[in-house]
Structure 1
Amino acid sequence: MGAVRFGVDDLVNLRFAISPLWETVASLQASEDPGRHAVHLPWIKKALALRHDGELARCLEPLRTALAGFEPPPPRCPLAEIEEELALAGVPSEVGDAVLAWWRAAVRPYWPRIRAVLEADVVHRTRQLAEDGIQEVFAHLHPTLRWTEDRLVSVDLPPGEWGLDGGGITLVPTAFATRCRLLPGRGPTPPCVLYPARAVGTLWERRGTADEGLARLLGRSRARVLADTSSPATTTQLAARTGLSLGAVSQHLAVLRDAGLVTSHRYRREVHYTASGMGLALLGRRTG
């Protein structure tokens, strides 16, 4: 059992971030243990096929050897680039090359949908923080975490008690983790708590499969847009998925939002659209 002790300044300096480096390393670990990551099986099948490629397999060997002891640094900003994170990690060049090779082959092609799920989680937690306070945020991050007086306590945290010393902490949602994890701070970068993101179960859902009845009700293009909002997506992402123009997607989203079938949330400069409970019900999917 471990605990992180918060002071007043630490509560003020609560941040959120997303780490493509962590997702890349964690995704390789997931591909090596498919039984623990059944939610990712559609992706893992493709990842295992990639790993059979001789050249990629040779490139990955240094990373696989170092994997057990490799600990990425905590991210410094919400939208860090993987190259920036690798530079801060200070890893041997062959390990860095292996990370980038796996990122380009197995993660980057799916990064827009992974990032959309992670950003939607951040939007949800940020709104929860504003409306209900930090205790509610910590209470709902993961069942193993609990807030006690001025401490965050969990069996997933390192044994003993960690003091933050006023620098705060960063909360990092992750798609490829089943438990929480604490990454110690490095220099001016505060420590972070990695936690499983919400709605990861929607990540690999097949898109664009709205049935004929829904297509007749809404129109084929509008039904397709609705189907593609089963996980959070921006207008640009929806246009790429559906093949429709940005203008057409925007018009369909406006109608769907007015009908209560999608909701929208702004994160930094982007607006993400997600099917509402009513929209998911029309698509025949669970809303839990």
Structure 2
Amino acid sequence: MTEIRFGAGDVAAIRFAVSPLGETIGSLRALTDPGHHPLHLDWIRAARPLAEDLATELAPLLDLVRADQVPIGLTPPPACPLADLEEELATASASPGPELPPLIAAVRAWWRAAVQPHWPQMRAVLEADIGYRARQLAEDGFETLLDRLHPSLSWAGDRLVADDGQTDTLDVRGHGLPLTPSVFAGHRVLLPVAGAPRPHVVYPARAVGTLWERGHQAADGLARLIGRSRARLLAHTTSPASTTQLAARTGLSLGAVSQHLAVLRDGGLVAAHRYRREVLYSVTDLGTALLGRD
């Protein structure tokens, strides 16, 4: 088994983060091994022609993905909760290794072709998972959080133990431990390899089966109460989102989203908070109650 050891202050530095770069690499794993990713078969069928169009550019990266030999430098731990791809690629570019520039170019091309068009839905699933884990942490503490993160993981006093058939021992060494939900992790946890300068853990996000559903179906009663567009918009704020993201998720115009959000906010159904350069909207307890969700 693999053990990840924590120092006295490391547990307090555990954090969650979303990684567009990690999901882009993960999507290539799904593409090359569809049998282990049945929930993504529709996406895989649509992505195959895109991969054929980019065959020359993707070839070196696909070879490494198939051999499970993606360089550590290409998968750095996300530096902030909602990193964007270019920020992560800038970090990867700073890693030593002459092989990285063509791989980074391949990642960028694949992201634009096959992942970015679906990123709003993917990010919604990932952020919803983080919201669930945050509530679990607040209610039950770190030990329960880590014990329930995945069936193969357990907390053992001062270390996180993974029943993965390996015999590695990793040390957080004061860096904290980013926990990164993934829609493409399948059923397994992805642990850092021995020697990784900054360990992080990638685990399967909850509710990945909802990813390719064709939108949220607002309850008829709520739709009659506040209008179908507002009910649909409210359903999409169960994970924090900007007006641009909500427009992409719902198909509404930016102007319509802004107008509906103003009404929902005045009614106490959504709240707004600023993160970096974005204003993110999320459903309140009252809005959650109206949606009929726990």
Tell me how far 1:87 sits from its aligned partner: 0.9
TM-score calculated relative to the size of structure 1: 0.79
Report the counterpart of residue 31 of structure 2 in structure 1: 31
**1:1-288 aligned within 5 A:** 1-53=1-53, 56-67=54-65, 68=67, 69-71=69-71, 72-78=75-81, 79-80=83-84, 81-89=87-95, 90=97, 91-156=99-164, 158-178=166-186, 179-184=188-193, 190-207=198-215, 215-216=223-224, 218-226=226-234, 228=236, 233-240=241-248, 241-244=250-253, 245=255, 246-251=257-262, 253-254=264-265, 258=269, 268=275, 270-273=280-283, 276=288, 279=291
Tell me how far 1:107 sits from its aligned partner: 0.9
Tell me how far 1:109 sits from its aligned partner: 1.5
Amino acid at match of 2:77: P
TM-score calculated relative to the size of structure 2: 0.78
Distance (whole Å) between structure 2 residues aligned to residue 39 and residue 252 of structure 1: 36
Amino acid at match of 2:26: A
Q: Is the 8 A contact 1:238 1:249 kept in 2?
A: no
Distance (whole Å) between structure 2 residues aligned to residue 227 and residue 207 of structure 1: 10
Amino acid at match of 2:149: L
Q: Is the 8 A contact 1:15 1:169 kept in 2?
A: yes
Q: Is the 8 A contact 2:169 2:194 kept in 1?
A: no
Distance 1:243 1:201, change over 3 A: same
Q: Is the 8 A contact 2:34 2:44 kept in 1?
A: yes
Q: Is the 8 A contact 1:169 1:192 kept in 2?
A: yes
Report the counterpart of residue 284 of structure 1 in structure 2: none
Amino acid at match of 2:90: E
Helix, strand or coil for the counterpart of 1:4?
strand
Distance 1:115 1:227, change over 3 A: closer
Amino acid at match of 2:112: R
Count of residue pairs brought into register by the alignment: 275
Distance 1:216 1:121, change over 3 A: closer
Unpaired runs of 5+ in structure 2? none
Tell me how far 1:209 sits from its aligned partner: 5.3
Unpaired runs of 5+ in structure 1? 282-286
Distance (whole Å) between structure 2 residues aligned to residue 180 and residue 266 of structure 1: 32
**Which string of whole-angstrom CA distances, capped at 9 and with x for unpartnered residues, describes residues 14-60 of structure 1?**
2222222211111011012222212222322221231232xx11211
